[in-house]
Chains A and B, each alone.
Chain A
Amino acid sequence: MKTISCILPLSAWLLAPLMLGIINRIKAFFAGRQGQSVFQLYYDLAKLLKKGSVYSRTTSRVFRYVPSVVLSAMVLATLMIPWGGLPAPVSFAGDLILLAYLLGAARFAMVLAALDTGSSFEGMGASREVQFAALAEPSLFLGMVVLAIQTGHGGLSDIFASLTSASWQSAPALLFLVACSWMVLLLCENSRIPIDDPNTHLELTMIHEVMVLDYGGPDLGYMLYAAALKLWIFSALLVNLLVPSQLIGHWMQIPLFLVGMVIMATLVGVVESIMARLRLMQVPNLLIGAGALGAMVLILKLVG
Chain B
Amino acid sequence: MMILLFFVLSVICVGSVLGMIISKNQAYSALFLVLAFSCLGGLFGMLGAPFMAVVQIIIYAGAIMVLFIFVIMMINLRKGISPERKKWTLAVSAVISVVLLAELVFAVLGTPPMPYTAAFSSGTSPTDIGRLLFTKYLYPFEITSVLIIAALVGAIVLVKKREKE
Chains A and B are bound partners: no
- A residues touching B (Cβ–Cβ < 8 Å)? none
Question: Interface on B for A, CB 8 Å cutoff?
Answer: none
